[in-house]
Amino acid sequence: MPDGWIILDKPVGLGSTQAVGAVKRNLREAGIFERWGKVKVGHGGTLDPLADGVLPIALGEATKLCGRMLDASKLYAFTVRFGAETDTLDLEGRVIAESDVRPRPAEVEAVLPRFTGPIEQVPPAYSALMVDGQRAYDRARAGEAVELKARGVTIHSLEILPGEDRCEEITLVAHVSKGTYIRSLARDIARALGALGHVTMLRRLRAGPFAEEQAISLDKLNEIGKGAPLENVLLPLEAGLVDIPALDLGPEQARAVRQGRVLTGLAFRDGLYWARSGTVPVALVELSGGSLTVSRGFNLPDVAE
């Protein structure tokens, strides 16, 4: 059974659901479904069609980590073009306000500390957030005035891309917490400068532990459907766990964990671990006061029975 990650360098114009569909199509064409039956496939964090870059796609048992991937921090590069604000806050929208102000890079850099650390931001009206049972973007497209509440996010770092010296637009790199809207960040930075702006380029450079160096193109993915080995593009399940420590278990301990039993008397620091038997992941576990409890078990072969 294929269990692991395909890190797709998603192109502009392709939605995250379409990207998952592309993976399923290639698995089907490669005979994976015929050999193994239905293989679960899911993505680890939506990436807008306008954006490109790192989109982790989980297969099999790795889909159990999709929720954790959604909660992970992300790294983005994005370009803000000054002079106009659009209703979608990006290139796809219609211009709703214009300004002659074109801040210089030094002025932009001076306001960035105001947008670093814990901040409050109002999500874009054109977002997938639910408003009274409907997606905000559906209400906005219907012509409704969508009012969304500000919410707290964290901008871990925010800086101008080295070499930027333009005034019409500027490219920034931001390391952000889950729930951060880059389009809102761009809007607020522009307004803080007495200007208006919208996003013209958005690229995800990292999602949790996965970086763009690990990502494959859509063309490379399509080679799988034409007979290329899946192993050429599939990262192991544990590649999604490299940011937390591993905990080695003996055969009896691994059997107990697979059965969901609590282990006690373990001399390890409290926290989140991934437990393994040899090199095979057994479970995502929590340690507290020497006791181990299972957060998420993995049904992988060659684990001690």
Q: What is the pLDDT of residues 166-223, one digit of tens each?
A: 789 999 999 999 999 999 999 999 999 999 999 999 999 999 999 999 999 999 999 9
User: What token pair was written down for 15?
Assistant: 């939605």
pLDDT at 241: 94
Give the pLDDT of residue 302.
60
**Which pTM value belongs to this model?**
0.91
Q: Is 189 helix (H, G, I), strand (E, B) or coil?
A: helix
Nearest to 51 by CA among 211, 221, 204, 186: 204
Mean pLDDT confidence for 59-88? 95
Active site residues: 48
Average pLDDT over residues 257-267: 89
pLDDT at 70 over 70: yes
Q: Please give the pLDDT value at position 134.
A: 81
Give the per-residue pLDDT at 4.
96
Please determine, for residue 303, whether its predicted confidence score (pLDDT) is greater than 80.
Answer: no
Q: Are strands 41-43 and 52-59 parallel, antiparallel or unpaired?
A: antiparallel
Residue 210's pLDDT is: 96
Q: What CA–CA distance (Å, rounded) separates 282 from 5?
A: 17
Q: Encoding tokens for residue 288?
A: 């507290």
Give the Å distances, CA to CA, from 207 to 20, 24, 79, 203, 214: 16, 21, 19, 11, 11
Across the chain, mean pLDDT equals: 92
Answer whether residue 82 shows pLDDT above 90: yes
pLDDT of 212-248, one tens digit each?
Answer: 999 999 999 999 999 999 999 999 999 999 999 999 9
Q: Coil, strand, or helix at residue 12?
A: coil
* Overall average pLDDT of the 152-164 stretch: 92
pLDDT of residue 270: 94
For residues 257-279, average pLDDT: 91
Average pLDDT over residues 98-103: 95
CA-only gyration radius of the chain, Å = 22
Six-digit token string for 171: 């490219």
Give the C-alpha separation, 182 to 152, whole Å. Answer: 14
Averaged pLDDT, 3-32: 94
75: phi then psi, degrees, rounded to nearest 5 = -120, 125
Q: Tokens in use for 255?
A: 């059997």
Distance CA 254, CA 261 (A): 10
Question: What pLDDT, on a 0 to 100 scale, did the predictor assign at position 163?
Answer: 76
pLDDT of 305 = 43
Calculate what percentage of the chain has a pLDDT beyond 70.
99
230 and 280 Cβ atoms separated by less than 8 Å = no
CB atoms under 10 Å from CB of 56, counted, come to: 27
Assess whether pLDDT exceeds 80 at residue 110.
Answer: yes
Average the pLDDT over 8-17 and give the result: 94
